């Protein structure tokens, strides 16, 4: 069992030079960091929403890699491996890492259609990142890997079907960043309503191997208001993927444990 946090991603960087190289590129690239910072200026500074910046990028990256790892342990193969775009698990993990880190950069332009905008903004960034992290992968296969990443960014939109395992993993991971007010439904800062009340009631989110399904997401909360976040954000993201059958979601309030998905 692991806790969804900004530090979870380090678990995977320690064992992969490719992932570490890609992550260091994303963390140091001036364009990436400018877009991430601008996304937060738009979301927090101008719309008065909750955080959509670099901490969220790190959280989703770690959660997505953890979910992918659990799925692969249950013999679920990444889609890019199935069709030969990726030729190793490490390359499939790179697709997930890059998609997760970059998925919200479209907010730098506008909150509306930010998933679509982000997929366009990411194109040249992903080309540079792949050249840096996977210098031996060139031409057609590098371009196809890029498109897998752009698809995963685009498919984080709630009503858009995620067509690959990798995109589904990133989409669900985005929904797990909800502890201590980090809800994935944007809510107005300082405004007391169902959005903010439900978000603030969630204290921790854990990911582990499930009892009946490969991945269990456990949401710890102070009160039942947090159910709103699960119903309005996490569950719609799960069901709009091709990996929905592999998840279970539990909510824990005090001594009570309630299965809320499936």
Omega within 30 of 0 (cis) for the link into 26: no
Whole-prediction pTM? 0.95
Long-range pairs, 85-93, Cβ under 8 A, ≥24: 85/141, 85/144, 85/145, 85/148, 86/145, 86/148, 90/16, 90/18, 90/19, 91/18, 91/134, 91/137, 91/145, 92/68, 92/166, 93/12, 93/16, 93/18, 93/19, 93/65, 93/68
pLDDT digits (tens), the chain, 262 positions: 999 999 999 999 999 999 999 999 999 999 999 999 999 899 888 887 767 789 999 999 999 999 999 999 999 999 999 999 999 999 999 999 999 999 999 999 999 999 999 999 999 999 999 999 999 999 999 999 999 999 999 999 999 999 999 999 999 999 999 887 665 555 555 666 666 677 788 999 999 999 999 999 999 999 998 898 899 989 999 999 999 999 999 999 999 999 999 9
Question: Residue 45: what pLDDT?
Answer: 81
pLDDT score, position 5: 95
What is the domain partition of the chain in residue ranges? 2-261
Distance CA(194)–CA(192), nearest Å, equals: 7
Angle at 190 between CA 184 and CA 191, to 5 degrees: 75
Q: Are strands 247-253 and 215-221 parallel, antiparallel or unpaired?
A: parallel
What is the model's pLDDT at position 188? 56
b/e burial code for range 110-141 (CB count within 10 A of at least 16 → b):
ebeebbebbbebbeebbeebbeebbeebeeeb
The candidate with the shortest Cα–Cα distance to 146, out of 165, 162, 124, is 124
Going by C-beta distance under 8 Å and a sequence separation of 6 or more, which residues neighbour residue 129? 22, 25, 26, 29, 98
- The token pair at 248 is 């279970």
In 3D space, the residue among 181, 184, 189 whose CA is nearest the CA of residue 171 turns out to be 184
Contacts of 145 (CB under 8 A, 6+ apart): 80, 85, 86, 91, 94, 95, 130, 134, 137
The predicted structure's pLDDT at residue 43: 84
Tally of residues, the chain: 262
Q: How far is CA 68 from the centre of its chain?
A: 11
Q: Contact at 8 Å (CB) between 125 and 32?
A: yes
CA distance 5 to 177: 8
User: How far, in Å, CA of 119 to CA of 110, rounded?
Assistant: 13
- Residue 52 has a pLDDT of 76
């Amino acid at each position: 069992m692991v806790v969804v946090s900004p530090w979870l991603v380090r678990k995977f960087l320690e064992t992969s030079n490719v992932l570490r190289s890609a992550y260091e590129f994303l963390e140091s690239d001036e364009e990436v960091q400018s877009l991430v910072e601008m996304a937060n200026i738009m979301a927090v500074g101008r719309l008065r929403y909750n955080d959509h910046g670099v901490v969220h990028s790190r959280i989703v990256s770690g959660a997505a890699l953890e979910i992918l790892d659990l799925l692969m342990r249950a013999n679920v193969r990444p889609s890019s491996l199935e069709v030969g775009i990726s030729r190793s698990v490490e390359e499939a993990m790179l697709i997930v890492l890059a998609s997760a880190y970059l998925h919200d950069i479209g907010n730098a332009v506008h909150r509306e259609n930010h998933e679509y905008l982000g997929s366009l903004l990411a194109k040249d960034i992903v080309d540079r990142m792949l050249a840096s992290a996977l210098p031996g992968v060139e031409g057609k296969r590098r371009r196809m890997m890029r498109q897998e990443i752009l698809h995963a960014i685009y498919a984080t939109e709630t009503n858009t079907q995620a067509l690959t395992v990798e995109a589904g993993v990133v989409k669900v991971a985005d929904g797990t960043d909800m502890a201590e007010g980090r809800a994935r439904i944007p809510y107005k800062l300082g405004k007391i309503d169902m959005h903010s009340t439900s978000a603030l009631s969630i204290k921790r989110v854990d990911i582990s191997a499930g009892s009946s399904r490969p991945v269990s997401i456990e949401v710890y909360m102070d009160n039942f208001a947090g159910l709103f976040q699960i119903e309005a954000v996490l569950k719609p993201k799960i069901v709009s993927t091709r990996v929905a059958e592999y998840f279970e979601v539990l909510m824990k309030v005090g001594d009570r444990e309630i299965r809320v998905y499936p």
